[in-house]
Structure 1
Amino acid sequence: MNTSVHTAMPVAVAGQSIPVRAILPWAVFGLIVSALLIYFVGAEQGATSLISGHAVHEFVHDGRHLLGFPCH
C-alpha cells in the first residue's frame, strides 16, 4: 500500500518593482481629485464659494451630513 503524502511546495514569486516615475502622475491626479471632492463636499458654500448659488450645496447636501460636515 502506497501511503506517501504529496505536499505542495510553496513557489517563491518575485515581486516586480514599479518605478516612482510611473506612480507619480497617478498619485498627483488622485490628490487633485481628492482635494476637489473634499472642497465641494465640505466647503462649497459661503465666503469660499467658487460657484454662485446653492446648486452645488444642494447636490452634495446628504453626502455632507453623511461625512460629518456641518452645513446649517
Structure 2
Amino acid sequence: MTFNATTHTDTSLPVIPLGEIVPWAVFVGLLLMLALYFVGAEQGATSMFSGMYVHEFVHDGRHLLGFPCH
C-alpha cells in the first residue's frame, strides 16, 4: 500500500482591486465620524436633538474616550 504525501496547495493571497476597497473605506470612515460626533460633541450648542437622551446614552463612552461632559 503506497501513500502519496505530495499535494499541491495554493497559498497565494487574493488580490483586491483598490477600486473595490475605496467605497467601503469611505462609508466606514463616515460612520466612524458620525459615531465620534455623537460620543464627543452631541451636547449643548452643537446638539442635533433636543433633550439629553443621546448624551445619556453615550455618557460612559464619553468618559472612556476622555471627552469631558460635566
Shorter-chain TM-score: what band? Answer: 0.7 to 0.9
Residue type of the alignment partner of 1:60: V
Which aligned segments of 4 or more residues in structure 1 are displaced greater than 4 angstroms?
Answer: none
**Percent pairwise identity:** 63
Deviation at 1:18, TM superposition (A): 1.0
CA deviation map 1:34-58 (0-9, x unaligned): 0011000000001111111100000
Superposed counterparts of 1:1-72, under 5 Å: 13-72=11-70
Deviation at 1:24, TM superposition (A): 1.0
TM-score relative to the length of structure 1 = 0.78
CA RMSD of aligned residues (A): 1.4
Instruction: Give the 3-state SS of the residue equivalent to 1:69 in structure 2.
Output: coil
Provide structure 1 residue ranges, at least 5 long, that are not aligned to the other structure: 1-10
TM-score relative to the length of structure 2 = 0.80
Greater Cα radius of gyration, structure 1 or 2: 1
Count of residue pairs the alignment pairs up: 62
Provide structure 2 residue ranges, at least 5 long, that are not aligned to the other structure: 1-8
